[in-house]
Homo-oligomer: A and B are copies of this chain.
Amino acid sequence: MLTERQAAILRLVVQQYIETAEPVSSRSLVEKHRLPVSSATIRNEMARLEDDGYITHPHTSAGRVPAELGYRHYVESLMAEDPVAPEEQRTIEHQLHQVLGGLDEWLSLAATILAASVGNVAVVTRPQVAGAHLKHMQLVELHGDSALLVAVMDDGRVRQRIVPQHSPAGQELLNERTIRLNAQMSGRGAAATLALAAEMGDIEDAMIVRAVAELIEEQRYTDETFLDGLRAALEQPEFASVERMLLAVQQMQAYRVRRLVEHARTERIGLTRVLIGREHGDEGMLEWSVVVSSYGDAAGSVGTVAVLGPTRMRYERTIPRVRYVATLMSHLIEGVR
């Protein structure tokens, strides 16, 4: 158990390190904060904190740096959140409301806004519904012997697929087919749609219905993950070497980030979770932390909002902002269904 003074020192060490990115020395702590004790006392306390695993030493004659446990304790007990000011709330909300083009555009914008607000990588995943259903589909004639199948799902997705036409039909006939098939398919899930396809007499009908079933179920990792803010994040001193920067660029790929974030999140909407260093389980990204929150609607679909950054991250700022954006999205998502 930490004494009150140890806790105070730990807080200062973490804060100062987050701010300066430099190891924190006992003397600088005393001077900057006009502590009523000498640096030797701080050194003694620091040695304790180090024994207990809260902070470390890069080398003998360097100041102290928070260890994972130190950040953990800081986030849980020592930190005061830096709330999203009303002004900033309005800005974010306003920007989000600029969206005209549907769910995808909206998720992408959310990632961009969040990234800009916290200066790190922001990730937003599309809300996953246990079983999506078809709302409406439409066949549009393409040049030549194929048609474009456009399907709108009840989870907000709009997906397309090119389907061959054995007998070129013209838009008129495609419209008829569209109406006929919609009548049978709309409201169905993937399995039910597939079952329907099996019963179909007409081969072309069956093929289209199967295509719709695939679209309902489809999840492409990249397309479902919206990521922004890498450029800004790379300017932080943790990436100030070619190897580290290159590694970071490699690591921040949509599919990988998505796996990490999906794994880190909880089902519980409204809860914001922080995973520091190895806590998130991706051995290759030990120096990264994740702040993650779920959003969703009454219908039970759940998506993820997250920020990724170096363990030396401004948790005070990041946590409330992730939470705020997630909350906002939970409210807004109803509208694009």
Chain A residues at the B interface, C-beta cutoff of 8 Å: 99-102, 135-136, 138, 140-144, 146, 148, 150, 152, 158-162, 171, 230-231, 234-235, 239-242, 245-246, 249-250, 253, 334-337
Across the interface, A245 reaches (CB within 8 A) one of B159, B245, B336, namely: B245
Pairwise interchain contact A335-B242, C-beta atoms closer than 8 A: no
Pairwise interchain contact B235-A161, C-beta atoms closer than 8 A: no
Pairwise interchain contact A102-B335, C-beta atoms closer than 8 A: no
Pairwise interchain contact A102-B143, C-beta atoms closer than 8 A: no
User: Which chain B residues lie closer than 8 Å to A140 at the CB level?
Assistant: 135-136, 152
Q: Once bound together, how far apart are the Cα atoms of A66 and B69, in whole Å?
A: 54
Q: List 27 A-B contacts (CB under 8 A).
A: A99-B162, A100-B161, A102-B148, A135-B140, A135-B141, A135-B171, A136-B138, A136-B171, A138-B150, A142-B335, A143-B334, A143-B337, A144-B334, A146-B336, A148-B158, A150-B158, A158-B158, A158-B160, A162-B335, A230-B249, A231-B249, A231-B253, A234-B249, A235-B246, A239-B242, A240-B242, A245-B245
**16 further contact pairs, Cβ within 8 A, besides A138-B152, A143-B334, A242-B245:** A99-B162, A101-B160, A101-B161, A102-B148, A102-B162, A135-B140, A136-B138, A138-B138, A144-B334, A146-B335, A148-B158, A150-B158, A162-B335, A231-B253, A240-B242, A242-B242
Number of copies: 2
User: Which chain B residues lie closer than 8 Å to A242 at the CB level?
Assistant: 239-242, 245
Pairwise interchain contact A142-B100, C-beta atoms closer than 8 A: no
For A152, the closest partner residue in chain B by CB is B140
